[in-house]
Amino acid sequence: MNQDSLDDLSQRLLGKPPGALDDEERRVIAGIRAGTTVSRDAADVADEQSSFGDRLADRVAAVGGSWGFIIAFAVVLFGWMILNSDILGHFGRAFDPYPYIFLNLLLSTLAAIQAPVIMMSQNRQSAKDRLAASLDYETNLRAELDILRVHHKIDHIVLDRLDAIERKIDGLAKTVPGA
């Protein structure tokens, strides 16, 4: 099979000239020609392509979208309110008394920063999903083409055996007297 040209393989297996192949089909045909596998892990490929900012956005989204963050954040908020209302408020030393204007500023700033970071992480996850679908397509196409090639080989073997059996029957028929 390695002697087959890219033109021949693409035409025979996909019914397309090499110029009409998309990237996935071209990689599959090249893999068949070279006798190599096409299966790749989407997570590994995505990690290879990710930048520092992408990885940071994923980490921030993972932390910000966890129960641990929600619980810790609730504790900090209630602690802030209790500290400024009850404890420091009794001594007239509250640095952010009710209605907690400074706390609102901090929360707004956090939301303004966290929302786009989470959206970046979601966009990256969408890109990973598209990559996984593309790699799945390549693997499925390769499997389908390999199955078709095996069927083709089996069909040729069966036809060759049938021809051999017919020749033997014809030979026997000629040697039997009165036939």
- Mean pLDDT computed over every residue of the chain: 88
* Residues contacting residue 98 through CB under 8 Å, at least 6 positions apart: 81, 84, 85
* Residue 20: both structure tokens together: 């009409």
Region of poorest pLDDT, from 65-69, 108-112, 175-179: 175-179
Q: How confident is the model at residue 3 (pLDDT cuts 50, 70, 90)?
A: very low
Give the lowest-confidence range in 29-38, 80-89, 144-153, 163-172. 29-38
Contact (CB, 8 A) for 16 and 28: no
Other CB atoms within 10 A of residue 169 CB: 10
pTM: 0.66
The answer to whether the CB of 167 falls within 8 A of the CB of 175 is: no
**What percent of the residues of the chain are helix, what percent strand, and what percent coil, each to the nearest 5?**
80, 0, 20
User: What six digits make up the tokens of 147?
Assistant: 């199955």
Average pLDDT over residues 142-152: 90
pLDDT at 1: 40
- Residue type for position 174: K
- Note the pLDDT of residue 178: 62
